[in-house]
Structures are given as C-alpha cells and as structure tokens.
Amino acid sequence: MKKNIFLLLALFSTSSLFAQTPNQYLPYSFDHYQKFNKQAYDQNSRFHSSIKPYFGDDSLLSQAVDSVYNFGLDTTVKRTWVHRKLFNEHLIDIKTPDYTVYADFLPDFQIGYDSQAGNTWLNTRGYQVGGTIGKKFSFYTSGFENQAVFPGYYLEYINANGIIPGQVNDKFGPTKSTKDWAYATAILSYTPVKYLNLTLGQDKNFIGDGYRSMLLSDVSATYPFFKLTANLGRVKYMAMWAQFQDLRAPEFSYDNGYRKKWGVFHYLDWNVTNKLSLGFFDSVIWQDADEDGKRGFDFMYANPFIFLRPIEGQNGSPDNALIGFTGKYELFNNLVVYGQFAADEFTAKEVFSNKGYWANKFAYQLGIKGFDAFTVKNLNYLLEFNTARPFTYSQRNSLLNYGHYNQALAHPMGANFREFVSIWNYSFKRFELKGQVNFAQYGLDGTGENFGKDIYKPYDTRNGNYGYKTGGGIKTDFSFIQGKIGYLINPKYNLRLETGFTSRIEENVNFSQKNNFITFGLRSSFRNLYEDF
C-alpha cells in the first residue's frame, strides 16, 4: 500500500509544487466567486478550481480574498464605530494570537410584484459566525429564519414538492400562500498535517467549473457530510461521505422521521499542465433501510482510495453508482473551456444502435467562461450548454435516486432536457450588475406516463424500452431572463441594496405560464439559491 502511494506522488507531483492545505471556509455563491476568476484560472498557477467551496486562506487566493473583503477600507481616515460597522467591518470581530471570531447579522428583506401572484415579499433574519482556533482549526455557521410570499411559479413548485427550493420543507403546507421556514449550516475544518484537510459539515458541495454541475451541485438542501481533501500540488483528491433524506418514501414511523439514504463521493482533480486539468469522479447512493431491516452505513464504502464500481458490484448491485469526468483548458489568459460527462448506466451496443434505449443514461456539459472581457476590467462571462438523457439520475425507487430532499443532486431540471445558459457579471467600485439568460427544452409527462424527466419516478414505470430521445414526451420550451443591479454596502457579509427584473416563460401544447416580476431589497449573506427552473 505504501509503495502505491509513493508511486502516485511520483507520477503526479514534485516536492517543489507542494503547498500546505488551507482550512478557512469561503461560503460558495456563483456570483460572489466570479470575483476570484482571475486567480482561479491563472495560466501561471495550478489552482484546483473545480472543487467548491474554496478555502479563503489558500496561498493562490488569499490576496484576492483580502482585497474583496476589505474593499473601500481606508486606514488613513478615522471613522466612527457606526460607519466602520456599516461599511467595512464585521459586527463582532475579535482577533488574538490564539484565536479569531467574527459574527454578523444577515438581513434579506425584499418587496416585489409578480404578474401572476401580485405583491411578493421576503423577510429573512440571519446570522453568520466564523473564526479560527490556532492555525489548524476553523469553524463557520449560519442560520436563517424566513417568511415569504413568492412569485406564482415558485409557489406552485413549493406546493407541489413541499419544500422551499434549495432549503427545507414548508411549515404551512399548500393551504397558505405565505411560507415559513428556517434552516442552518455549519462547518468544522481541521488540518492535522500538511496537505490534508478534514471537514465535518451540514452544508452543500459543488464539483465543476460551470454554473451548473452534472456531477454534484448545490441545488438541493444542505446535508450532513464528512469530507477528506488531500492537496498534493498537481493532484487534489476529495473523498466525501454524506447522508441524504427522502421525503417521498413512506416513513417507518413518526419517531424515525423522513427516510434516509447514504452517499459516497470520490473526485480526483489532476492539473496536467498549467493550462490543462482533468478530473475523475465516482459515487454510490444506497438506502439506509428497507422493509426487511436497517442496513445503515455500509463500511465497504469507507475506504477513501477504493474504486466504488467494483464494491457496488460486490454488494450484489443493490446500489446506484455514477461515474463522471471533467476537463478544463485555459485557452487564453482570460478564457477557459470546460466540460463534464456523467454516466449513470449504458449498454455500448445500444448506444450505437440509435434506437433510443431507455438505459442509455448519461449527461454532459460544455462551456466557456472568462474575465476582463473585451479588456473591460471585472467583466466576467459564461456561456454553457447542459443536457441529460431520459432517466439519467433515476432509479428503481427514490431511496436510490440521485436526489436529496425532493430535489436533484445534479441539475435542477432532473433529466430529459437541453439547456443553454449565459451569465454576465460586472462590478465597478461598489456597483454590481448581472445579466442572465436561460433557454431550455424538455419533455414533461402526461397522465400515467414516464418519459424520464422526473428523477423521483421509478424508472420501471416507463412505457417501454426503446424510442426515448432527449426532449421526448410533452415538448416544453423554457426561457428565463434576469437582470440585477446592486450597490455593495459592506463586503464583509455581502450587504447590498439590490433591484432586479425577471421574465420567465414555460409553455407547451397544454399550457402557457408567463411570469414577469420585479424586486427591491436590502440583502446579505452568500447563499446560492436558484430561481431559474
């Protein structure tokens, strides 16, 4: 075993490339992370950009992180306590040689109007607390208490699925238009030795360089996990074990609560050169218990360095395995080409037969992104195409599918879709602008049908074995256009004034739903919540 480890180090790394693994958690938000594109995709370094969240004290990021979080700070001018706390500092900020602690109040107050639902509003009171103990231990937690009246399409989704997208279950249920919910996150990060970080959390994770991920995204609710990350210079390796919840499976009893399932994930990111990176991913989902008894955590999946596919087969193939690959090439100084491929299962002869075999379940992504577009500083852009074949991510039952808390662990549209996304971000001093366009086409199910879009439907409820194509079923067109303008007040906790306009259209031969809504608000926090579904 030791010999194999040394061979791996010799193949992928040199001692001159080693750097100590950092441990200070940087909450993930796609918009916020655009401010670090220049460092994450620098051709002169080998930063592992596809494993998120990042660590803010990474040597390749730390200077940029300090610049972003201390924007507008002028130490030459003496300010009042109120001015400092409002514009430049954490509400509580304690720094000693042995430990640090910071804390903030995180408001998210919005009012708006939707063409379908009328007046909308959001009342969120949140907090964040973070800090370090010594040089090896850090912690972060956030919590939010919320009430809201949402736009029409959002409300319909909540009532149909019983959850606030990306968060938790709706306390009031479908009988009330006002929704009430609360949720929290927590991270404990420990770096016991060089090159190794251990993280225990209740949060989300993301793998990829794009806006979406076809492997593991932050679409669903938070979940408990334990993650091991080893940074060996050219190679960064992640092994993670997580527990998920299934709200649709029948509960055994009130005392046991929602049914549980487990997941194990391995991802190796290899920086082949300063420009080229390749990634290798595998995962297995298994149910915690069935009618015959409790299975619990399967220790056959405990080894962080083992290939999961053989173990899944050794267990008699009761579980759901997924493998995937990622690629990134920094084509120019400010332009990156990236992609992903996920294979749920497929039969080689059926792939090439072109008969639309149901079990040819795969998804892929292609995209380009960059920064300082047209030589305009801080103008970031992304153009991305995503698609998933019918029945990808689905399984025999929802306790084995690639989902958590009634949402997908990969793409929010599930499967059986094609999507194009373009996002542009621009910041000038304290002003921040964002424009986003989504166009998608997918196949919905008619009564008693299953064309493979809903990953929570068992795949054995399909109508047949052949004739499935992406977009098959009730052909539905989707568009989402959004623009936002914000004014940053305090960069320490992303406090800003923000206004936005959104136009959403979903239509097919059976219905046409159009929503136009506008919002104004005082917003904070780094939550990454999706509206484009």
What is the per-residue pLDDT for 311?
65
Provide CB contacts within 8 A for 200, sequence distance 6+.
Answer: 187, 188, 225, 226, 227
What is the per-residue pLDDT for 16?
36
What is the per-residue pLDDT for 90?
94
Contact 21, 195 (CB under 8 A): yes
What is the per-residue pLDDT for 349?
75
- How far apart are alpha carbons 471 and 462 in whole angstroms? 15
Dihedral sign, Cα of residue 227, residue 232, residue 233, residue 236: negative
Structure tokens at 382: 């992304």
Q: 3-state DSSP call for residue 349?
A: helix
pTM of the model: 0.90
What is the per-residue pLDDT for 455?
95
- The ranges of the chain with pLDDT < 50 are 1-19
What is the per-residue pLDDT for 407?
96
Mode of pairing for the β-strands spanning 431-444 and 259-271: unpaired
Dihedral sign, Cα of residue 298, residue 304, residue 305, residue 308: positive
Of the candidates 63, 64, 40, the residue with the CA atom closest to the CA atom of residue 52: 40
DSSP output for 11-56 = HH--GGG-------EE---HHHHGGGHHHHT-TTS---TTEESEET
Mode of pairing for the β-strands spanning 259-271 and 235-246: antiparallel
Of the candidates 141, 148, 140, 139, the residue with the CA atom closest to the CA atom of residue 120: 148
Question: What are residue 525's phi and psi, to 5 degrees?
Answer: 80, 175
First vs last C-alpha separation in the chain: 47
Q: pLDDT, tens digit, for every residue of 220-276?
A: 999 999 999 999 889 999 999 999 999 988 887 766 788 999 999 999 999 999 999
CB atoms within 10 A of CB 437: 17
What is the per-residue pLDDT for 264?
95
Contact 500, 447 (CB under 8 A): no
What is the per-residue pLDDT for 17?
38
Which residues make beta-bridge pairs with 447?
A: none
For residue 402, with 0-12 CB atoms within 10 Å meaning exposed, 13-18 middle and 19 or more buried, which class applies?
Answer: buried
- How far apart are alpha carbons 71 and 27 in whole angstroms? 18
- How far apart are alpha carbons 338 and 379 in whole angstroms? 19
What is the per-residue pLDDT for 121?
97
Of the candidates 440, 452, 441, 409, the residue with the CA atom closest to the CA atom of residue 213: 409
Structure tokens at 200: 């225990």
Structure tokens at 143: 């919590």
Eight-class DSSP state of 151: -
